[in-house]
Amino acid sequence: MGERLRRETPHRGRRTLAALVAACAVALLAAPAPAQDGDDGEPSASEDRAPDADVLTSEDHHRINAAVRGGLDYLASRQGSNGAIGTQYPVASTSLAGLAFLGGGSTYNSGPHARNVQAVTRYLTDRVAFKTRLVSVRSGNRTLKGEGYFFTDGTDSGRMHGHGFATLFLAEVYGTLPREHPQTEVVREKLRGAILLSLASQTRHGGWGYRYEGEPTHGADEASVTVTQIQALRAARNAGLEIPVGAIDQAVEYVRKCMSDDGTCRYSLHNGQQGGTYELTAAAVSSLNASGVYDSEQLKNGMAFLKRCQVAEKNPAKAADRYYYYGNFYASQAMWQAGPELFDPWFDQVHQHILESVGHKRRDLKTGLEHWVWRSSQYGDEYATSMALLILEIPLQYLPIYQR
């Protein structure tokens, strides 16, 4: 028998976690649309809190709402005429900003930042963000053929990360577009091409590396790239596209093999590198949890390692001491999937840290709007702001890929 293909009903609507953040969601969606324009924070500690099933106060809701709206308005103000947001890693930062707009409740057709979602979509589907090549991928006794799209921003080591984030964004957009919408087929074509290239680029170990299939150094794998591809393929499958069942299974097995007995995730199977960081382990745990690997020893050990790192800090946000935004971005997903008993007290402290210790408020001189900005000299303020917003938005549950 040939390998089965998974096909699931597309997400055509979204739900919110009403009991936790209904007031915040309503306020965000009611906000007026902004006018269109064309150093990493140093974490500090706050007091530990006892676990609580519902720790957010009305004041917390208000502050998160204001920060998310201000951050989204900042990203909108940074969008260029071609739709790009950020210049250091434009495909990755633009795609993450697009996800932040979606995570705040806007869609391609509605919401205060619908025009920004449309512009991001055009940037990724038009002329500036991809190369094309013919791709042929085996799927059991079938062969999937088509033109493969690689979302490139001219960088080297971060290209496959950007490709994964771009594919994830388009999958989330596609899942909300009506079938009769004129943009639906355009998005589907580019999304299918991006998926084909990802599938062709999967290494023999089951993971992905910094190169796509056909490049001279393709074949080396790396766990953080693999996580981006897993999320992108899952989102595409959830949106109704056909994904070979073995591709995700092999990728999940790759992540499982990367997990060490002490709970850390090693960097690569290809080069045999041992050990791992909090940030990479959070990414691995989030992908295992979201892929339904709930009872594995690897997941349990990984969660135990994350908790040990968090408890060692006065604020769990500081456990991501190498890559603050990246680490907390994936930790937010891992903790959310683990359930409210772990997520609620974690989020209570982390959202305060993001707002009070690393966030910056400022007034935009052109529009008079209050902007929230998070800074990163290495990857760009647009990247850092998008990551911070996606962490703050996770309880809203607008993005299907982050739903429990």
Closest alpha carbon to 367 in 4, 111, 33, 114: 33
DSSP 379: T
pLDDT over threshold 80, residue 363: yes
pLDDT over threshold 90, residue 154: no
Cα–Cα distance, 268 to 310 (Å, whole number) = 24
Other beta carbons within 10 angstroms of residue 404's beta carbon come to: 12
Instruction: Render pLDDT for 196-229 as a digit per residue (tens, 0 to 9).
Output: 989 989 999 999 998 888 777 777 899 999 999 9
pLDDT over threshold 50, residue 187: yes
Token pair for residue 248? Answer: 């995700």
pLDDT range class, residue 157, cuts 50, 70, 90: low
Q: Give the mean model confidence (pLDDT) for residues 288-296.
A: 84
Distances (CA, A) of 251 to 49, 96, 139, 234: 37, 22, 15, 11
> DSSP strand E in 243-341: where?
243-244
Token pair for residue 236? Answer: 């595409």
Cα–Cα distance, 20 to 41 (Å, whole number) = 28
Query: Is residue 369 within 8 Å of residue 332, measured between CB atoms?
Result: no
Query: Is residue 402 within 8 Å of residue 336, measured between CB atoms?
Result: yes
Lowest-pLDDT range of 99-113, 188-202, 380-394:
188-202
What mean pLDDT value characterizes the chain? 84
DSSP 186: H
pLDDT over threshold 50, residue 385: yes
Closest alpha carbon to 223 in 261, 263, 252, 194: 252
Residue whose token pair is 């771009």: 166
Most confident of 21-30, 127-136, 302-311: 302-311
Instruction: Render pLDDT for 41-88 as a digit per residue (tens, 0 to 9).
Output: 333 333 332 223 366 888 999 999 999 999 999 999 999 999 999 988
Options 1.20.1050.10, 3.40.50.1820, 1.50.10.20, 3.30.1050.10; CATH for 5-39+56-402 is: 1.50.10.20
Query: Is residue 124 within 8 Å of residue 95, measured between CB atoms?
Result: yes
Instruction: Render pLDDT for 386-398 as a digit per residue (tens, 0 to 9).
Output: 999 999 999 988 9
Stated pTM of the model: 0.86
Cα–Cα distance, 301 to 303 (Å, whole number) = 6
Share of the chain above pLDDT 90, in %: 63
* Residues found in the chain: 404
The more confidently predicted of residues 146 and 341 is 341
Lowest-pLDDT range of 108-122, 141-155, 178-192, 334-348:
141-155
Sign of the CA dihedral with 133 first, then 139, 144, and 150 last? negative
The more confidently predicted of residues 40 and 107 is 107
* Alpha helices (runs of H) in 43-109, residue ranges in sequence order: 58-77, 90-103
**Domain extents for the chain?**
5-39+56-402
Query: Is residue 125 within 8 Å of residue 190, measured between CB atoms?
Result: yes
| pLDDT (0 to 100) of residue 130 | 65
Cα–Cα distance, 399 to 386 (Å, whole number) = 14
pLDDT range class, residue 273, cuts 50, 70, 90: low
| pLDDT (0 to 100) of residue 127 | 62
